[in-house]
A and B are shown apart, each in its own frame.
Chain A
Amino acid sequence: MSPDSVQMAFPLLSLLVWLPILGGALCLLLGNDRPQAARWVGLVTALAALVLSVPLLTGFDMGSAAMQFVEQRPWIPTYDIRYHLGVDGISVPLIALTTLTTVLVLVGAWSVIEKRASQYVASFLILEGLMIGIFAALDAMLFYVFFEAMLIPMFIIIGVWGGPRRVYASLKFFLYTFLGSVFMLVGLIYLYLKGGSWQLADMVSLPLTMREQTWIFFAFLISFAVKVPMFPVHTWLPDAHVEAPTGGSVILAAIMLKIGGYGFLRFSLPILPDAGHEWAWLMITLSLIAVIYVGLVALVQDDMKKLIAYSSVAHMGFVTLGTFIGFSLVRDFGNTDAARLGLQGAMVQMISHGFISGAMFSCVGVLYDRMHSRRISDYGGVANVMPWFALFWVLFAMANSGLPGTSGFVGEFMVILASFQQHPLVAFAAATTLITGAAYTLWLTKRVIWGDVTNAHVAEMHDINVREWIVLGVFAAGVLLIGLWPKPLTDLMEPSIAQLAGQLAATKL
């Protein structure tokens, strides 16, 4: 028996993709008359997926940059599209983050969502399966199918369970991301016609002229920049976040934004290294604008969710900065170590931001369930009535401002260190986030949590219950674990990151 067939013996990745989708279908069949049954089906399915991601982590060979748990079979032979799944050090942590976050979202919504609960649970389960599919797909068309199909459940989530302007927000979300991704489709078809294969590995080894690379680079850029989102195509995010129900915001911030960053790492960097190098200055500039300008925008928000949404854009700026600074470091300075550091930082930042933003949106959800308001000025002195909640909030706020010891610090510090090797000014500009980030987060905390109880509604609020405790507790554990002991995570990613850094250096011309 060849090693390949041994790996195909147990279709772990397929199970991770399809189990949630089938669970979602089951919830839909249960119908809206049996919400409690659907909740249980949802929780059991999500927990099963979480349990399945354990062997993914334990069975993963950390010493190898190769794709693992590979499954490959023909899907559409006439167009040479293959059902090809596999994971490396970049996708494994993101899949684990997805399975964990989905469980937390379902627990968090347990008794909160009463309207059409079955469909709510089903939407999140289907979304989970599709997102895992995105991270596991090694066939570009398969990736694209998951990438686009994901829009429908999210559209429904925002539109059905969202706030007052949900229709506007959901349509904006859908059309923005749809517009972005269709350009990518044309780019992918071009690569297929040129190379005769949809396999990512074949696209990576396909020689391309500078002109081709530039066109495809921008086609991919539109698609992924909208997802990340990068300045100036970030404007859908505040709307979508504000109007989405808590669970939708958490998934959006914790995972969906990462798909943009993942796309850069998986597609733009290895397939288009020369165009990436050529346009790295643009990407670095846009990232810095996101970090500085959008950070300042966050400062003046009067809506909690909007503030966190803008802070997400600023933090994702570090992801794109760490990703694209690598080109300059490798090619202009020959400094592969720094490039690896930047890429590592981008990845750590993605995982960390997944925990922090998920936690922050969950916190706002907890407040919203009690007050039905997201306006900062409606709150004040929450710590007096909700001490446990205040404890968690302050922890997440510190992490969001990048306090050492929390996960927020690790990724940002790595990216800043890497960019220092490129130019101290870039590092300086990026490091201003430590000031602006602290400013908007701590000011928010001061206005909402600290001080005297400002009104009677706040005085009536009760502290978090066990369910909310579990959700916030798990997030807190993640934030602290990565903050204090990031080594397992970086070890997991290291071989794949090193391979990626090598791909940055290799020209295709």
Chain B
Amino acid sequence: MPSAAELLPLLPELVLVGGAFVLLMLDLFLSESQRVVTHLLAIALLLATAWLAAAGTGGQGVVLGGMFVRDNMSDVLKTGACVLTALALVYAWPFLRQRGLYKGEVAVLMLFAVAGMMLLISAGNLVMVYLGLEMLALCSYALVAIDRDSATASEAAMKYFVLGSLSSGLLLYGLSLLYGATGTLDLAQLHTAIASSSETTLLLTGTVFAVAGIAFKFGAAPFHMWVPDTYQGAPTPITLFIGSAPELASFALAFRLLEGAVGPLDERWRLLIAGLAVASLVVGNLIALMQTNFKRLLAYSAISHIGFLFLGFAGGGAQGYAAAMFYVISYALMSAAAFGAIVVLSGRGFEADRIDDFKGLNARNPWLAGLVLCIMASLAGVPPFLGFWAKLAVLRAALQGDMLWLAIVGIVFAVVGAFYYLRIVKVMYFDEPVGELVPRDDRPLQVAFGVNALALLVLGIFWNPLMSWCQQAFGA
């Protein structure tokens, strides 16, 4: 039985999980019209957890026999995951509500998904890595399938589930090889064992499988097959959720496994990651050029952004990981805003997920068009928006890691990527509006969207605190 002192670093998780159980019970006694209570309490719970993580309440340390690690990095990522999920809930409310999809389980599933993310972020042991990952994944499958009468959503959920299970299998296989080669499940002990081991074949095989599993979870090419269908098929707020906060958890997964466990083999896996980065940049950007569905376009854009994120990993070192973390947080914010734009524009029984739905937006609503312009410029990596600084950080990491060629591939595909983001701007500003499209008149939603989009500009000018936070997480 762990002592109270050992449990203290888990305080944010305990609060979150406890609160989630309470909400699950409470929701049973609420009628459909009172569901807003669950919604608001879930947001409050997430923000409270975020605060506990950000403030470092409970103290840091390695507890529960090395299972659970609370360090600077985990606090930053947990705060980000909680805030982003709260944001996703704000976006989800009006959209899912109108479609009769906002059951109490939506909020609770998201809460448990966040709990999974937080355990994954703090994992100190291979078992913990897998448990956290599965907890997140199972909740996500259910969320994607929440619109069970929709054929596309069901298909998306099915693909997500099958390919997600496959990737979990790959990862598990890789982890078992690592365990077999070293005889330990503890990440820190793995690191020391690998550093002193001369036998590399088994370790390398395990690492390759682990990298494949990580790439699957991130959606990096060539393990990206599930991304476009799932992103397009899932209800937009759910896509928004799975496209933002879980990326932070994937980052932690990659860091804990690659640097934490198989760090001594980094000369080998860095090349693997660089290869995945190139593949993702090429596949993501080139296929995105041909999309007509905005959600699908954003899915391919997500793949390309993972490519950029891997530049930071390939570069390595404290600065490289800080850059990758900065990238993943920036990207999650941008991704949330981009899907948020669809939510804001979608009316009753209508989903504005085609690029053509954005036609002439500037003539109808210059304010919204301006915000979407900010999001697109940020995704394209135009200064002074946040997305540019994220790219600067990972390019710097790649150059610092002596990977000039990788940086060149990155910037060339950044230009390719700029084309399809500009196409959205073109459609909004240069084309005339067709048909009726009334943006949803929902105050909290519009405020959340405005704050989310403008954050990309404001953080783009004052990004020092965010970067300094990321650097502190790795002691850079």
Contacts and interface: CB of A to CB of B under 8 A. Distances in A.
Q: Do the two chains belong together in a single complex? A: yes
Contacts of A179: 412, 415
Contacts of A31: 366
A116 B369 CA distance: 14
A193 B393 CA distance: 12
B411 A185 contact: yes
B382 A159 contact: no
A148 B389 CA distance: 12
A368 interface: no
Contacts of A141: 392
A489 interface: no
Nearest to A158: B430
Interface stretch (B1-9, B92-100, B463-471): B463-471
Interface string B390-426: 0011011001100010011001101100110010011
Interface string A39-83: 000000000000000000000000000000000000111110000
A186 B399 contact: yes
B183 interface: no
Contact of A148 (B383, B396, B464): B383
Contact of A193 (B383, B384, B400, B463): B400
A179 B408 CA distance: 11
Contacts of B173: none
Interface stretch (A170-178, A308-316, A417-425, A452-460): A170-178
Nearest to A144: B383
B407 A186 contact: yes
Contacts of A192: 396
Contact of A166 (B383, B404, B419, B430): B430
A75 B385 CA distance: 15
Interface in A150-180: 151-152, 155-156, 159-160, 166-167, 170-171, 174-175, 178-179
- Chain B interface secondary structure, helix, strand, loop or mixed? helix
Nearest to B396: A189
A12 interface: no
B384 A167 contact: no
Contact of A182 (B363, B411, B426): B411
Given A178-B415, A186-B407, A189-B399, A78 B471 contact: yes
A31 B362 CA distance: 11
Contact of A75 (B393, B425, B464): B464
Contacts of B370: 28
Interface string A120-145: 00000000000000000000010011
Interface string B439-476: 00000000000000000000000011001100100000
A32 interface: yes
Contacts of A496: none
Interface string A190-218: 10110000000000000000000000000
Contact of B426 (A76, A151, A159, A189): A159
Interface string B361-395: 01100100010010001000011100010001101
A183 interface: yes
A189 B464 contact: no
A112 interface: no
Residue of B392, B414, B467 ringed by the most chain A CB atoms within 10 A: B392
B161 interface: no
Contacts of A145: 383-384, 388
B366 A119 contact: yes
A116 B418 CA distance: 25
B429 interface: yes
A190 B384 CA distance: 20
Contacts of A75: 464
A298 B468 CA distance: 53
Given A152-B382, A174-B422, A193 B388 contact: no
Contacts of A189: 392, 395-396, 399, 407
Nearest to A76: B464
B237 to A, nearest CB: 29
Contacts of A159: 426, 429-430
B411 A190 contact: no
A76 B467 CA distance: 9
Contacts of A282: none
A191 to B, nearest CB: 10
Contacts of A183: 411
A149 interface: yes
B383 A149 contact: yes
B426 A32 contact: no
Given A149-B384, A171-B422, A186 B392 contact: no
B464 A152 contact: no
A35 B429 CA distance: 18
A314 B440 CA distance: 53
Contacts of A119: 362, 366
Given A76-B467, A193-B396, A182 B414 contact: yes
A167 B384 CA distance: 24
Residue of A31, A32, A179, A182 ringed by the most chain B CB atoms within 10 A: A182
Contacts of B383: 144-145, 148-149
A175 B370 CA distance: 20
Contacts of A151: 382
Nearest to A174: B422
Contacts of A144: 383
Contacts of B400: 193
A78 B396 contact: no
Interface in A436-450: none
B418 A175 contact: yes
A470 to B, nearest CB: 30
A166 B411 CA distance: 26
B429 A156 contact: yes
Nearest to A29: B367
A144 B464 CA distance: 17
A475 to B, nearest CB: 30
A75 B461 CA distance: 9
A339 to B, nearest CB: 33
Contacts of B388: 145, 148
Contacts of B418: 174-175, 178
Nearest to A81: B464
Given A31-B366, A148-B382, A174-B418, A186 B395 contact: yes
A266 to B, nearest CB: 18
A359 to B, nearest CB: 29
A258 B471 CA distance: 39
A175 B393 CA distance: 22
Contacts of B464: 75-78
A155 B377 CA distance: 12
Contacts of B419: 171, 175
Interface string B186-223: 00000000000000000000000000000000000000
A189 B410 CA distance: 14
Contact of A185 (B363, B392, B393, B467): B392
A32 B366 CA distance: 9
A171 B420 CA distance: 10
Given A31-B366, A193-B399, A78 B429 contact: no
Nearest to A171: B422
A189 to B, nearest CB: 5
A170 B426 contact: yes
B359 to A, nearest CB: 13
CB-based closest 5 A-B pairs: A182-B411, A145-B383, A78-B467, A159-B430, A179-B415
Interface of B: 362-363, 366, 370, 373, 377, 382-384, 388, 392-393, 395-396, 399-400, 404, 407-408, 411-412, 414-415, 418-419, 422, 425-426, 429-430, 463-464, 467-468, 471
Given A116-B363, A152-B382, A167-B426, 4 more contacts: A28-B370, A77-B464, A119-B362, A148-B382
30 contacts: A28-B370, A32-B366, A76-B467, A77-B468, A78-B464, A78-B467, A78-B471, A79-B467, A116-B363, A145-B384, A145-B388, A152-B382, A155-B422, A156-B425, A159-B429, A159-B430, A160-B362, A175-B415, A175-B419, A175-B422, A182-B414, A182-B415, A185-B395, A185-B411, A186-B399, A186-B407, A186-B408, A189-B392, A189-B396, A192-B396
